[in-house]
């Protein structure tokens, strides 16, 4: 582990109208770490992730990606290229094949020649276990396959950090495992990841640390074993108990 965090969040605050959604969130994420954020819905988890790639502009606080302050950065596209973002609804282009969905960022944003982009896209599809579906369109894929294409697309950009916002919430139960398995593989390959999920088995077995967020504040954070077996805060205990 290096001594400087890859991602540093300092006293982040955001309100929408009168509603305080992030109320002073601070934490660090080191290279190779996977942290899982859990918490009830409406407590600011998505707002936190969106602040990191500036889909949301926070009111106060700082977000640093290595030596760049995201919250002050003028060239936001340069930041977004370094951060993979995978969310519930996949966000694939319906008129493009699986392979083309992965290639488009490489050719349009990174200006990589088409042939090279195609090779990279094939490699990424193979990495998420989807060799053979290159020429299929999103409508021809299952939800689990669509989400794996979305992950492959993010990985093709060589991100420093991967953000996952409830990546399996829109999936039928039997398709959740294949997506979690890909994410587990990434964590084991030392990708740096911040994952919002309700999949407690994944949180417990894959994360280095769990952050319990409620009403825009970190109530408690710690290693998964301790959080699950000996939560210190009564709210954490209640939340984890309700899920069983």
Cβ atoms of residues 63 and 8 within 8 Å: yes
- Report, in Å, the least distance between residue 174 CB and Mg ion: 23
46 binding Mg ion? (CB under 5 A): yes
Q: Which of 43, 145, 147, 236 binds ligand ADP (CB under 6 A)?
A: 43
Task: Give the span between the Cα atoms of 152 and 37, in whole angstroms.
Answer: 22
Question: Which is closer to ligand ADP, CB of 49 or CB of 106?
Answer: 49
47 binding ligand ADP? (CB under 6 A): yes
71 binding Mg ion? (CB under 5 A): no
Cβ atoms of residues 7 and 54 within 8 Å: no
42 binding ligand ADP? (CB under 6 A): yes
Q: Which residues contact 148 (CB under 8 A, 6 or more apart)?
A: 128, 129, 130, 178, 179, 182
- Report, in Å, the least distance between residue 44 CB and Mg ion: 8
Torsion of CA 102, 105, 107, 111, to 10 degrees: -150
Backbone angles phi and psi of 185, in degrees to 5 = -60, -40
In the numeric block, which tokens belong to residue 28?
Answer: 């660090």
Positive or negative torsion for Cα 230, 231, 237, 243 = negative
- Report, in Å, the least distance between residue 144 CB and ligand ADP: 22
Q: Which of 21, 102, 180, 183 binds ligand ADP (CB under 6 A)?
A: 21
Question: Which is closer to ligand ADP, CB of 39 or CB of 138?
Answer: 39
16 binding ligand ADP? (CB under 6 A): yes
Cβ atoms of residues 208 and 37 within 8 Å: no
Closest residue by beta carbon to Mg ion: 46
Q: Among Mg ion, ligand ADP, none, what does residue 47 contact (CB within 5–8 Å per kind)?
A: ligand ADP
Contact residues toward ligand ADP (CB under 6 A) are 16, 19, 21, 41-47
Contact residues toward Mg ion (CB under 5 A) are 45-46
């Amino acid at each position: 582990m290096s001594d400087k965090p890859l991602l540093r969040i300092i006293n982040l605050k955001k309100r929408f109208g009168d509603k305080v959604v992030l109320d002073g969130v601070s934490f660090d994420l080191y290279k190779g770490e996977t942290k899982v954020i859990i918490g009830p819905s409406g407590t600011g988890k998505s707002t936190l992730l969106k602040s990191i790639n500036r889909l949301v502009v926070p009111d106060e606080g700082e977000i640093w990606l290595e030596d760049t302050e995201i919250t002050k950065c003028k060239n936001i596209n340069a930041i977004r290229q370094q951060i993979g973002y995978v969310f519930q609804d996949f966000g694939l282009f319906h008129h493009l094949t699986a392979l083309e969905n992965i290639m488009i960022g490489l050719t349009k944003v990174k200006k990589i020649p088409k042939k090279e982009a195609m090779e990279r896209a094939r490699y990424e599809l193979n990495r998420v276990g989807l060799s053979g579906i290159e020429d299929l369109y999103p409508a021809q894929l299952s939800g689990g396959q669509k989400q794996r294409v979305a992950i492959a697309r993010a990985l093709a950009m060589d991100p420093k950090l991967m953000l996952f916002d409830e990546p399996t919430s829109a999936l039928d139960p039997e398709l959740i495992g294949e997506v979690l398995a890909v994410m587990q593989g990434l964590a084991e390959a030392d990708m740096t990841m911040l994952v919002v999920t309700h999949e407690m088995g994944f949180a417990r077995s894959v994360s280095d640390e769990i952050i319990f967020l409620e009403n825009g504040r970190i109530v408690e954070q710690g290693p998964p074993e301790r959080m699950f077996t000996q939560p210190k805060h009564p709210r954490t205990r209640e939340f984890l108990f309700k899920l069983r």
